[in-house]
Amino acid sequence: MAQLKHLLFRLIVTALFLAVPILGVWTFVNADQMHVWFPEAVSSFGGEIDHLFSLILWMVGITFVATEVLLVLIILRYSRRDPSRSHYTHGSHVLEMVWTAVPALLLLFILFSQMGVWSEVKIAPPHEPSDPYSRENPLMRVYASQFDWRVRYPDEEGNFEGENVVESAYDIYVPVDTKVFFDLVSRDVLHSFYVPNFRLKQDAIPGMKVPVWFEAREVGDFDLICAELCGWGHYKMAGRVHVLPQDEYTAWLEGQREALYDNGSED
């Protein structure tokens, strides 16, 4: 009876021990279809970034599973029940070269895999002559400060200073299916402009005007947060990006300008 209880105990412990890695592997395989990692990607480069994330995740996941399997095999092979004498080694140049070369090759593979996406998002964004906005002619300017987001849309002459500049707080309005270029400016400390649905994250650095761009492919309202700890009110820096059809965006901007003109005439 005691042996049966001991065997049952070992079976339960083994089952619990195996349940964690099995559940982990199942979650790893199905997480992408279950949208566990990220919300839906709605920007033009969101799919490419998700592909890179999945690529790296699979590489790391396979390495982890292989390492754990090897560890279990070694534990079983060289358990205390085996009476044969162990063979001790004091180093192997071949093994050292292998575990140095393989990670280096994997890192180089990741490096070259992401260069195209990095260049598109950060260095040389795609631009056509028909695009209404560019780095030299941005749609807006976003100001980050403790603890809010301020957005300025230029007047009809392209100026960001003056009485006819449209300004909003926490809410950003942009047209759909349009390459939106804007300047990101910090008025005090480090902040980070982060829109999860766009797969867009860019630090706002004091003293710098950082060019940023995206192209939203779907109409909707999307969360904007600060992803850089910037002080006691960091949690308050939550805004919304409103992606509108082109005609609705034009109507909104004209309405804001008309309100400015009306207020100016009353003064």
Give the mean pLDDT of 101-118: 92
Q: Which two tokens stand for residue 177?
A: 């299916």
Q: In whole numbers, what is the pLDDT of the chain averaged over residues?
A: 87
Residues ≥6 apart with Cβ < 8 Å to 147: 226, 230, 231, 233, 234, 236, 237
Give the mean pLDDT of 247-262: 87
Look at residue 100 in the predicted model and tell me its pLDDT. 92
Domains of the chain: 2-80+92-123 (no CATH), 140-266 (2.60.40.420)
Give residue-wise pLDDT tens across range 161-197: 877 889 999 999 999 999 999 999 999 999 999 999 9
Q: How many CA atoms lie within 13 A of 222 on its CB side?
A: 25
> Would the pLDDT of 227 be above 90?
yes
Which pTM value belongs to this model?
Answer: 0.80
- Residue that wins the pLDDT comparison between 215 and 12: 215
